Amino acid sequence: MVKQIYPRVEINLQYLKENVAAVVEKCKPFGIDIAGVIKGTTGIPECAKMFAEGGAKLIASSRLEQIEDAIDCGIDLPMLLLRVPMLSELPEVVRLCDVSLNSEVSVLKALNEEAAKQNKMHKVILMADLGDLREGFWDKDEMVDVAVMVENELKNLELGGVGTNLGCYGSIEATADKLDELVAIAERIEGKIGRQLEYISGGATTSLPRIINHDMPKRINLLRVGEGILLARDLDVFYGYDMSWMHQDTYTLKAEVIEVKDKPSHPVGKISIDAFGHTPEYVDRGIRKRALLGIGKVDYGSIDEIFPKDKGVEVIGASSDHTILDIEDAERDLKPGDIVSFGINYASIVYLTNCKNVQIVFV
């Protein structure tokens, strides 16, 4: 097997653990527990352990294989399936998961049958679509009726609560008013079943502004947080929040320089399409010093999602396996064999930790 040193992602596990603990502590005065979402780093067990050690009350992923890895590495916390289950995977859902998010009556009935076969009780959180238009009941009367059915008729399912997702597809902000809608649905259900629900799960990282602004509705008691712990970048870059209380450099991409040349900044010849079927626009800046890296779009997705840490270094393009840097104004005199470091965001970390060509190193 080829042993490849670069490209690599270096992960500071202590920083990750401290980020988990910081978010847990931030949410504690509001009575909110954290489900640690491990899918952003492809469920790497070492990272999942930091969620557990940092104080998350559940471990969550949309991928069953990641949940199984978390169990196999000895994490003894309830496991939450984030994606509405496929009918074809229900035996594994019941085997591996304590809790799942649900929005389909046929799936709930089949899930109940599978739980009975395995002689288990399986907890479900019913999802409400509050306008983001991904998963969840749009008809809230139907949602209440289904909740009553789960409570009274599906003997191997436990109605754990209700939840919602905001911001992932429809870009809808998780405002206090939106989350009040979820609380109202929960209280309608509680009135019908005669007891209080265990969970009112008010979304994900996009709901953390309600904590920071101190306007989170009182009954929300569970958030499912991934990016806001792993990178703590989105709330800073897109929402303008001061995230200096979090480590934003837990993950660092490092890649090796394989060529340094002075070349024109505009391609020479008839412009056609690139390797991905696109025709980018090129700015003619004359002859510039450029560096090639031994990493490309196959590894991280888009050049817009990696951020050079060297001053004066600019990512100007990439193909499948090469990344092109403008280093004319770089403070370092880069040469082949040198290593360039990058900050990364959620989109790139998902690619990088899924790519077998990229080494994972813990520091």
> Which amino acid makes up residue 145?
D
Distances 315 to 181, 210, 255, 326, 342 between C-alpha atoms, Å: 44, 35, 13, 6, 10
How far is it, in rounded angstroms, from Cα 163 to Cα 155?
21
Q: What's the chain look like in SS3?
A: CCCCCCCEEEECHHHHHHHHHHHHHHHHHHCCEEEEECHHHCCCHHHHHHHHHHCCCEEEECCHHHHHHHHHCCCCCCEEECCCCCHHHHHHHHHHCCEEEECCHHHHHHHHHHHHHCCCCEEEEEEECCCCCCCCECCHHHHHHHHHHHHHHCCCEEEEEEEECCCCCCCCCCCHHHHHHHHHHHHHHHHHHCCCCCEEECCCHHHHHHHHCCCCCCCCCEEEECHHHHCCCHHHHCCCCCCCCCCCCCEEEEEEEEEEEEEECCCCCCCCCCCCCCCCCCCCCCEEEEEEECCCHHHHCCHHHEEECCCCCEEEEECCCCEEEECCCCCCCCCCCCEEEEEECHHHHHHHHHCCCCEEEEC
Q: What is the CA radius of gyration of the chain?
A: 23
Intervals of the chain under pLDDT 70: 1
Residue 232 backbone zone (phi > 0: left; psi -120 to 50: alpha; other: beta): left
Q: What is the dihedral of CA 354, 355, 358, 359, to 10 degrees?
A: 50
Would you state the structure tokens that stand for residue 51, as one six-digit string?
A: 């969620």
Which of 17, 39, 178, 297 does the annotation list as catalytic?
39
Q: What is the dihedral of CA 29, 32, 33, 34, to 10 degrees?
A: -100
Contact 127, 167 (CB under 8 A): no
Contact 30, 211 (CB under 8 A): yes
What pLDDT score does 1 carry? 66
39 is known as an active-site residue: yes
Contact 259, 336 (CB under 8 A): yes
Strand 287-293 relative to strand 323-326: parallel, antiparallel, unpaired?
antiparallel
> Which amino acid makes up residue 240?
G
Contact 121, 137 (CB under 8 A): no
Domains of the chain, start order: 13-237 (3.20.20.10), 251-362 (2.40.37.10)
